[in-house]
Amino acid sequence: MIELRNINYRAGDFALNDISFSASRAEYFALLGPTGSGKTLLLKILAGLIPPSSGGVFFDSEDVTRLAPEDRAFGYVAQDYRLFSHLNAVENILFSPRVRRLPDDAKGILLGDIVSKLDIAPLLKRRVTNLSGGERQRVALARTLASRPSLVLLDEPFSAIDEGLKKHLWFEIKGILSAAGVPVIHVTHDIEEAVTLADKIAVVIDGKIRQTGTPKDILLRPSSERIARYLGIKNIFVGRVVSGDSRGYLIEISGAVISAPVPPESLAVAPEAGDEVTVCARPQSVKIIRPSEAVRDELKENMFDGVIVGAYFFSDSVSVFVKCGDLVWEARLPHAVYHRNELSVGKKIIIALWRPDVMVYK
């Protein structure tokens, strides 16, 4: 298990503040956050390239905080891959085994195993300067695996790869690393990448870990308004608590009354009547209601008449903006739902919020 305990580090005006997290054996752990949040600094502290001001790095309960990078046996794939441009692919891959003076037959077995897993046989004799981004990424990962690492550190490994190839590589690389059975710490600012690959995610913003959990935890229950905004949620409105009990709350927002469940335990103090709160709902939790169909109980308490004021198409979904009174809600719908309901800008519709997903922050 890899563990960071109370890591602090300052560089100019930026600081990492009291960072703690752990990743177990064979766990794929993502550090997710915006550019400049301190993710790469954390990776370099893990790799031993930068010493922390205070705190410790532990691997399998051993304190490795002051251990040199070459003595940690960690594999580090930098954002630019750091391949040796004067060597071809196979020479890059076998650089570590050659330094360790591994016998030729052992190097051959190791190379054959890695080449087979990564399907890179056609690349072996090519200079790395003649490889595409995806090919360089495979060679960089092969070089890391050839060093027989006890931990793999990935710094934005897909940032230089075309969008079409990137998602294919996500599943391919995850499968290879899972089969290797070593923990992985993966730095990314790409939310979709993190939730697709990771078993656990730590959200890093401004040098602090703001939330740690499974992808489902992070997506469905962001622990603060700040994280919700980072995740791109636009349905965030300030209101005032009208009433509340063990079942939940009624909150007035610009004349509309929203029914919400009891907030998560992460809130130190539960809101009371009269308190100002922030209400948040993911766009996927905003549903289109068809008058001819039965309405689920989870939707009945938050139904609103509105008119579509905007629609924006993505590769797999449509963002529909619906004005209900003074509020504009974003609903994220599959293309089929958009077309089946014959939606368009200017059309009057009924929307409803899936009550279990409505979040309240004090």
50 plus 82 within the same structural domain = yes
295 plus 215 within the same structural domain = no
If we measure between CA atoms, which residue out of 250, 281, 278 comes closest to residue 361? 278
**What's the predicted TM-score (pTM) here?**
0.88
67 plus 148 within the same structural domain = yes
Q: Three-class SS of residue 72?
A: coil
- Are the C-beta atoms of 136 and 81 separated by less than 8 Å? yes
Query: Which residue range is the domain that position 189 belongs to?
Result: 2-223
Tens digit of each residue's pLDDT (9 = 90 or more) over 186-217: 999 999 999 999 999 999 999 999 999 999 99
What is the rounded distance in angstroms from the CA atom of residue 59 to the CA atom of residue 49?
Answer: 16
- Of 223, 250, 275, which closes a domain? 223
What is the rounded distance in angstroms from the CA atom of residue 262 to the CA atom of residue 130?
Answer: 57
What CATH number does residue 258 fall under? 2.40.50.100
- Of 223, 257, 279, which closes a domain? 223
pLDDT band at 133 (very low <50, low <70, confident <90, very high): confident
Sheet arrangement for strand 236-245: 256-260, 248-253, 236-245, 276-280, 359-361
253 plus 126 within the same structural domain = no
212 plus 304 within the same structural domain = no
What CATH number does residue 110 fall under? 3.40.50.300
- Are the C-beta atoms of 279 and 244 separated by less than 8 Å? no
If we measure between CA atoms, which residue out of 180, 26, 172, 187 comes closest to residue 110? 180
111 plus 215 within the same structural domain = yes
- Of 176, 206, 223, which closes a domain? 223
Structure tokens at 3: 């563990």
What is the rounded distance in angstroms from the CA atom of residue 198 to the CA atom of residue 183?
Answer: 11
What is the rounded distance in angstroms from the CA atom of residue 117 to the CA atom of residue 94?
Answer: 15
Q: How many domains does the chain have?
A: 2
Any idea which of 26-40, 66-80, 170-184 has the lowest mean pLDDT? 170-184
97 plus 219 within the same structural domain = yes
If we measure between CA atoms, which residue out of 92, 19, 10, 109 comes closest to residue 50? 10
264 plus 156 within the same structural domain = no
56 plus 136 within the same structural domain = yes
202 plus 320 within the same structural domain = no
**Is the model's pLDDT at 80 over the cut of 90?**
no
170 plus 288 within the same structural domain = no
Structure tokens at 273: 């009547």
Tens digit of each residue's pLDDT (9 = 90 or more) over 119-128: 788 888 898 8
Structure tokens at 132: 């595409």
Q: What are phi and psi of 275, to 5 degrees?
A: -70, 145
7 plus 130 within the same structural domain = yes
